[in-house]
Copies of this chain bind each other. A is one copy, B any other.
Amino acid sequence: MMNLSKSLRILHIRKAKKKAGLPPGSLVHIGKERRDNVSVHVIRYNDQESKNIETENIPEAIRSIDNNCINWYMIDGVHDISIIKHFGDILELEPMWLEDILNTDHRPKVEFNNKNIFITLKLLSVTRKEIESEQVSLILGDGYVLSFTEKKISEFNYVRDKIINNRGQIRQRKADYLFYVLIDAIVDHYFFADEFISDKIETLEENIYSDDQDFYMNLIQSLKKDMIITRKAIYPLRDALDKLVNEDSFLIHKDNYKYISDIDDHILHLAESFDSNREVVADLENLHQSFISNKLNEVMKILTVMSSIFIPLTFITSLYGMNFKFMPELGWSYGYLMVWGYIVLISGSLLWYFKRQKWF
């Protein structure tokens, strides 16, 4: 049986156990325990050139921000607290944000101060059987972007390759455009999740009249789980992006707000599609319920027809099976024929009755 609430639960326990009693701003990693190494890449580029350095000496790498370039620090893995702390200390980030980066169960949100814009959102990835949700946090500063992901994600590698190979317009643009491109890469993936849910709904639809109840129930349970995960990614992001569009930050060039607006539009579209899907699922559940009721009716009709016809007949035959000495009918020459007459009469009139009731 699938486990609708398990994934959520694990995070909650850890959070409660690890955080309770600590002062605010204490950095604790909350989420799935990971063993893989955290890798930090620095991608430096301008319209002339681009470099991609995998660095070991992280403080050094952070301090050497090149003001003639856009500096993208790509941190894959957030379970090494010391690395997050280096960034926080050297770039003077809000301690609360660091906490949120480490808490991979955090809801999507956007925050501002006078130096940075912070956004945390969910990457939805579709596996063969379900939708999975990962935390991605981005910080935009003057000339740099920091990206924190739970593990390496191919979408960001793809953006990096485009920078290195100078495809698209990223190299010609500023850090705010990179910030936008990264958010867009994540939100574009939501359409896969939306499609995956639509596919599951279609499978559900094809099976609402099926007799394999276990299959139906597992399917609807896993679908509901996918929908909860998707909703938790999409709905708070809608509010967060509204905040981003309406806030006026010097970090984002006025002309680039239309790109953010466009992502906002996508999210709105996704949210509407999601609402439609929710309604379709509710309708299908109703139809399935009606189907079950109808089937019960069918079953009961068969039972009723069979019983109503043969129980009275058996009574008659049983009647003439009695062993009384004085039963005149038993001696009649046409007694047996008379019984058959009864049988035909009774079963015939009952069949006619059930036919008239449109039972078959």
Contact = CB atoms under 8 A, between A and B. Distances in A.
A205 to B, nearest CB: 6
A292 B293 contact: yes
A336 B322 contact: yes
Given A185-B21, A326-B335, A311 B308 contact: no
Contact of A16 (B155, B195, B217, B334): B195
A23 B181 contact: yes
B303 A297 contact: no
A199 interface: yes
A268 B107 contact: yes
B290 A293 contact: no
Contacts of A312: 306, 310
A24 interface: yes
Contacts of A319: 317, 339
A325 B330 contact: yes
A168 B26 CA distance: 10
Interface residues of A, number: 116
Interface in A57-82: none
A87 interface: no
Nearest to A311: B310
A34 interface: no
A310 B302 CA distance: 14
A128 interface: no
A20 B187 CA distance: 9
A234 interface: no
A165 interface: no
Contacts of A3: 202, 205
A164 to B, nearest CB: 15
Interface in A80-106: 94, 96, 106
Contacts of A188: 16, 19-21
A35 B334 CA distance: 75
A46 interface: no
Contacts of A314: 310-311, 314-315, 318
A246 B237 CA distance: 23
Given A232-B272, A308-B303, A322-B323, A286 B286 contact: no
Interface in A217-240: 217, 220-221, 224, 228, 232, 236
Given A9-B195, A292-B294, A330-B324, A258 B96 contact: yes
Which 5 interchain pairs have the tightest Cβ spacing? A16-B191, A320-B322, A317-B318, A303-B304, A9-B198
Given A13-B195, A96-B262, 6 more contacts: A16-B195, A232-B272, A318-B318, A321-B322, A322-B339, A325-B335
27 contacts: A4-B201, A4-B283, A5-B202, A9-B199, A12-B273, A16-B195, A20-B185, A107-B268, A217-B290, A224-B283, A228-B280, A232-B272, A236-B272, A290-B292, A292-B294, A293-B293, A293-B296, A296-B300, A299-B304, A300-B300, A303-B307, A306-B312, A310-B315, A314-B315, A325-B331, A326-B336, A327-B336
